Structure 1
Amino acid sequence: MSSLVGTTRQCSPNFDRVREYTDVICFSFKNLPYAIEAELSAWTAFLQRAMDAAYNSEVVVDNLHNLIAEQRRCVREVAASHVLAALCEQPAAPSPAPSPSPAPADDSRTPRTPRTPRTPTSLERRAPSAVSTPIQRD
């Protein structure tokens, strides 16, 4: 009988220790989903910020391309302008005795090109997409 009492005395502390470990493990497992959810939320927020940064970078690059194209168009328009050609041409040497001739009614010294629908003027309004083309978000 004494061996049975000794075994019972040994089982009781072991049982208490097992119950204590079980309580700790159960508490950890109950809180594990909350910890996983918090970690996933942090990663989701990080990825959202990364996606926003990539989207904003694409918009900035697209706007820079549009600005470069607009500057090239302006340079072509100015280079083809008859006003620039008139300003850049060398003045003629003055003649010693000007001939008396009636002044023309219109200024025929600068050639004028007729405006056609294909020749743009600098005051025309352009579509907003000519300046900025935002990328559509999903």
Structure 2
Amino acid sequence: MMNFPKPVLAGFLLTAAPAFADPAGLYCTDGGDSFLIGQPAGDDAFDVRIISWQGGFHCGIDGTAHAMPDGWLLESQGCALELREESGAIRLAASPPEACAPFCGAQATLNGLTFPRSGRMTESPDPSLFERDLGELDPC
């Protein structure tokens, strides 16, 4: 049996997992105008749905986010949307931002949206929230 020095093994374990545990749950922010829903979808994957109303303009995207070293990555139709833990919130970073524009109305954006962990309403959202059309959802 091989014995690895503990610091080396601990360093390996830290780099093998994403920066935060998972985006599971229902998160509401902006008075319920924006929400994120996440549920496990297998090893290192989460089904994610995001809706945001910003000044009368709408953003909506859903898909499967996969683990990466510093968070989760949702890719859809050329839009790469990273979900990262920053200052006690899940923060979205669109790369490049213009590639994610088709998911939003004229003056709305996914880039920079934040969902505070304090806005987590439940860790286990109702599975039916993944069966309905995005436009029909209002879970907050």
Q: If each structure's helix is expressed as a fraction of its own residues, which one has the higher value?
A: 1
- Using the size of structure 2 for normalisation, the TM-score is 0.23
- Using the size of structure 1 for normalisation, the TM-score is 0.23
Q: If each structure's strand is expressed as a fraction of its own residues, which one has the higher value?
A: 2
Give the number of the structure whose alpha-carbon radius of gyration is greater. 1
